[in-house]
Amino acid sequence: MKVLSIAIGADHGGVDLKSHLVAALKAAGHTVRDFGTDGTASVDYPDFAAPVSAAVTAGEADFGVLVCGTGIGMQIAANRNPGIRATVLHNTTEARLTRAHNNANIACFGGRTIGVEVALDALNVFLSTPYEGGRHDRRLAKIERPVA
C-alpha cells in the first residue's frame, strides 16, 4: 500500500464521522493532518474547507477529506479553490468513478447522511483508484478555464 498524506477537516455535523475516518487512515499507515474541528460546538464549514483545500493545492497533501452534515457545503466551499475537485461520496461506485474520470482530490462526506462503514469503504476506494487520464484530461482542462 502506498503511504499517503491526507489533510482532513470537519464541522460540528461531521466531527464524529471524521474521528472514525482519522482512526482508520492512521491504522492503515497514512499520514494525517487534522485541521479540526474537534468538538460539537457549532462552527462554519468554510473555515475547515479552506485549509484542507490549501494543503492539497500546495501539494502538502496527496488528498483531502472534508465532512459536514451533508458533505455538500464542504464540496461547494472546496471547489471554489483553483485546482480542487471535491466530490460528495455516497458509495464505492462514485468513489471509483470520480477518481478515474474526474481526478477528484478531495472526498466529502455527510456525517448525517452516510454510515461509518459505507464511508470507510468509499474512502478506501477513493484513495486507491488511479486517474485514467486520456480523454478526461481535455475535460478537466475545460473546468480549469470555464469562462470563454
Active-site positions read 68, 101
Question: Is residue 68 a contact residue for ligand RB5 (CB under 6 A)?
Answer: yes
Question: Which member of 9, 18, 34, 73 binds ligand RB5 (CB under 6 A)?
Answer: 73
- Closer to ligand RB5 by CB, 30 or 94: give it: 94
Beta bridge partners of 88: 108
Q: Which three cell numbers stand for residue 34?
A: 487534522
Q: Which residue matches cell numbers 468554510?
A: 46
Residue 9 binding ligand RB5, by CB under 6 A: no
Distance between CA 94 and CA 75 in Å, rounded? 14
> In this chain, which of 19, 69, 116, 124 binds ligand RB5, going by CB under 6 A?
69
First to last CA, the chain: 42
DSSP 130: P
Which span sits near ligand RB5 by CB under 6 A: 23-31, 64-72, 96-104, 122-130? 64-72
